[in-house]
Structure formats: structure tokens, C-alpha cells
Amino acid sequence: MLTRKGEQTRARIVAGAADEIRERGVDEVRLEDVMARTRTSKSQLFHYFPDGKEQLLLAVARHEADRVLDDQQPMLGDLTSWAAWERWRERVVERYREQGTDCPLTIVMGHLGRRSAGAQSVVDGLMTRWQAALADGIRHMQASGEMPGELDADRAAAGLLAGVQGGVLLLLSSGRTEHLEAALDLAFTGLRGSATGRW
């Protein structure tokens, strides 16, 4: 059981670890660094995360994953017109432009990605919710006749999501947002266009 003080400390640790990772990368982060930044001792770390570093990283991943969709609100939840889609687009580009080369989630993921089933599910959950929000928007647009009714909303959302992910990935290594923007534009063109695809 956690007391109020305990919760504060735990939260401080997670946030501090997240910052540390953002700044220096997962591999470079020692527990000692987290301790220094959060003014905690080793026994506290292992008190709140008995399974050690792995568990802490997972908590950080969850913490970061939660932020991703929040940062896209309220746009993401209201994709009901082309203007709204454009606003969402701008927000996404802006958010990742600011973030630049430091994508904490990708970092943490890339680190414990495959091995930990927990990490897997964090990402899966995030992507699923993200895709669902996009699919909702697409269905909305179809209902109002602004996107072709023939296309499979879920599949289109999957493709759009992939474009965003790839754009961000390329941003991480190039530092430029042009791939992300191009991917969004190309996807939008597909969403607008005549339904000649294999939908």
C-alpha cells in the first residue's frame, strides 16, 4: 500500500527517470542518475520498483505513452471536418517538431521492446487507441460524405497511422519533419481521392 507521500515519491521518480532518458538515452541512464535528479536513495527505487530497472523503465514507458494521445487532444477526438483534420495535422507536426530527435517512447520501446511482454502491450495499447480515434474520424467524414464511403475506415486508419509513425521515425534520424508532412499529405490525398484502391 502507498501513502500519499509514497505516491508523490514514486511519481517523482518516474518523471525524473523520463526526463533523464529524454536527455541522455536509455542506455546512458544509471539508477544513480535518477537518484540524484529525484533526490532519492537506492532503497527507495527498489522499494517502489522491486523488480528494478526493468520495472522502472516500463513505468516510464506507460507514463510517456499516456502523454502521446493527450498531446493530440482535443483535435484527435474531433475529426469531423477537413478543417479539423488539418488542425490535427498541424498539431502532430508541431508536437514532433518540438520534440525533435528525442522521442522517449521510441527510445524506451527500442530498448526493452521485444523482450518484455509488458512493453509490448504498452505500445500495442497506444497504437490501438490511436488507430481507433483515426478510424472514428474517418467514419464521421464518410457519414457526412466528405470521404469516400467505399474505403475501409479501419484499414485506412492503419495506413495513416503507419505514415505518421514512419514520419516520426525518419524525423528521429534526420531531424527534419518533411517525411512526416509528406506522409500526411499523401495519406490525405488517398483519403480524399477517388476510391480506386483495393479497399
How far apart, in whole angstroms, are the C-alpha atoms of residue 93 and residue 190?
19
Residue closer to its own copies, measured from CB, 48 or 96: 96
Half-sphere exposure of 179 (CA within 13 A, CB side): 15
For residue 157, the minimal CB distance to its own copies (Å) is: 8
Residue closer to DNA, measured from CB, 28 or 94: 28
Residue closer to DNA, measured from CB, 57 or 126: 57
Q: Which of helix, strand or coil describes residue 195?
A: coil
Binding residues for its own copies (CB under 8 A): 25, 27, 101, 106-107, 109-111, 113-115, 120, 123-124, 127, 155-156, 158-170, 172-174, 178-180, 182-199
For residue 66, the minimal CB distance to DNA (Å) is: 22
How far apart, in whole angstroms, are the C-alpha atoms of residue 57 and residue 62?
9
How far apart, in whole angstroms, are the C-alpha atoms of residue 127 and residue 28?
27
36 binds, among its own copies, DNA, none (CB under 5 to 8 A by kind): none
3 binds, among DNA, its own copies, none (CB under 5 to 8 A by kind): DNA
Residues in CB range of 65: below 8 A, 6 or more apart: 105, 122, 123, 125, 126
How far apart, in whole angstroms, are the C-alpha atoms of residue 126 and residue 129?
5
190 binds, among its own copies, DNA, none (CB under 5 to 8 A by kind): its own copies
For residue 20, the minimal CB distance to DNA (Å) is: 11
For residue 17, the minimal CB distance to its own copies (Å) is: 18
Query: What does the block give as the cell for 84?
Result: 479539423
For residue 174, the minimal CB distance to DNA (Å) is: 28
185 binds, among DNA, its own copies, none (CB under 5 to 8 A by kind): its own copies
Binding residues for DNA (CB under 7 A): 1-7, 9, 29-32, 39-44, 46-47, 52-54
